[in-house]
């Protein structure tokens, strides 16, 4: 994936890290999608992600002030890639297993949103979009930067390159096998 296509693009406000990461994902997987206004595309997608029906499926409505629910991010990624995505917990459990699935998805050029936050709450969404020798390459919409995320830090549950949000909470990953349908 050509991360230069999204490098420098920033989320338009404090609530749109999720849709900004998802717009970036769509740019990376769909060569025909090049929004003229990244901020507007993020705001428009945010409205879609928080509606009672998103991408043809009913979902719990969600206040936009709280950001993007992980299940809506999974639906968006399913729509953008044609592969079924699901949310997997990183906060507790076998992070190494989830990381292996994440790296397998990236090897197939399938980007994956990651929810990070504080000890108590998920607060920010970044986009894993490639592999690096030490771990993952991640687009951070708060700065527009593409940074490396250390594999040991991720499996250890403490991140250092996602700003003040240092705890991994969720990964939105494609399921193994068949395309969405």
Helix axes 17-29, 38-49, angle to 10 degrees: 110
Strand partners, 145: 140
Q: How far apart are CA 54 and CA 96, in angstroms?
A: 31
pLDDT band at 54 (very low <50, low <70, confident <90, very high): confident
Q: What is the pLDDT at residue 179?
A: 61
Domain at 3-179: CATH code: 3.90.70.10
Model confidence at 177, pLDDT cuts 50, 70, 90, reads low
Q: Measured between alpha carbons, how far is 83 from 93 in angstroms, rounded to an integer?
A: 25
pLDDT number for residue 181? 56
Least confident of 59-68, 82-91, 121-130, 151-160: 59-68
This prediction's pTM:
0.92
Say which residues have a Cβ less than 8 Å from residue 122's Cβ, sequence separation at least 6: 70, 91, 115, 116, 169, 170
HEC string of the chain?
CCHHHCCCCCCCCCCCHHHHHHHHHHHHHCCCCCCCCHHHHHHHHHHHHCCCEECCEECCCCCHHHCCCHHHHHHHHHHHHCEEEEEEECCCCCHHHHHHHHHHHHHCCCCEEEEEECCCCEEEEEEEEEEECCEEEEEECCCCEEEEEEHHHHHHCCCCCCCCCCEEEEEEEEEEEEECC
Q: Is the pLDDT reported for residue 154 higher than 70?
A: yes
- Which tens digit of pLDDT belongs to each residue from 64-106? 777 899 999 999 999 999 999 999 998 888 889 999 999 999 9
Average pLDDT in the chain: 91
Using pLDDT thresholds of 50, 70 and 90, give the confidence band for residue 164. Answer: confident
Neighbours of 61 (CB within 10 A): 11
Could you give the CA distance from residue 106 to residue 130 in angstroms, rounded to a whole number?
6
In the predicted model, is pLDDT for residue 134 greater than 90?
A: no
**pLDDT beyond 80 at 176:** no
Q: Determine the pLDDT at residue 59.
A: 80
């Amino acid at each position: 994936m050509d991360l230069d296509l999204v490098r420098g693009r920033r989320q338009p406000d404090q609530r749109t890290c999720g849709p900004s990461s998802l717009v970036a994902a769509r740019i990376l997987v769909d060569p025909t999608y090049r929004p003229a206004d990244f901020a507007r595309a993020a705001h428009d997608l945010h409205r879609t992600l928080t509606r009672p029906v998103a991408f043809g499926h009913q979902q719990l409505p969600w206040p936009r002030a709280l950001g993007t629910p992980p299940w809506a991010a999974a639906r968006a990624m399913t729509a953008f890639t044609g592969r079924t995505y699901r949310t997997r917990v990183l906060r507790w459990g076998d992070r190494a297993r989830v990381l292996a699935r994440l790296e397998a998805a990236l090897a197939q050029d399938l980007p994956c949103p990651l929810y990070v936050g504080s000890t108590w709450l998920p607060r920010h969404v970044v986009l894993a979009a490639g592999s690096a020798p030490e771990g993952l390459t991640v687009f951070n919409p708060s700065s527009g930067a593409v940074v490396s995320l250390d594999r040991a830090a991720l499996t250890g549950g403490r991140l250092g390159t996602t700003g003040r949000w240092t705890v991994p909470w969720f990964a939105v990953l494609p399921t193994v096998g068949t395309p969405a349908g």
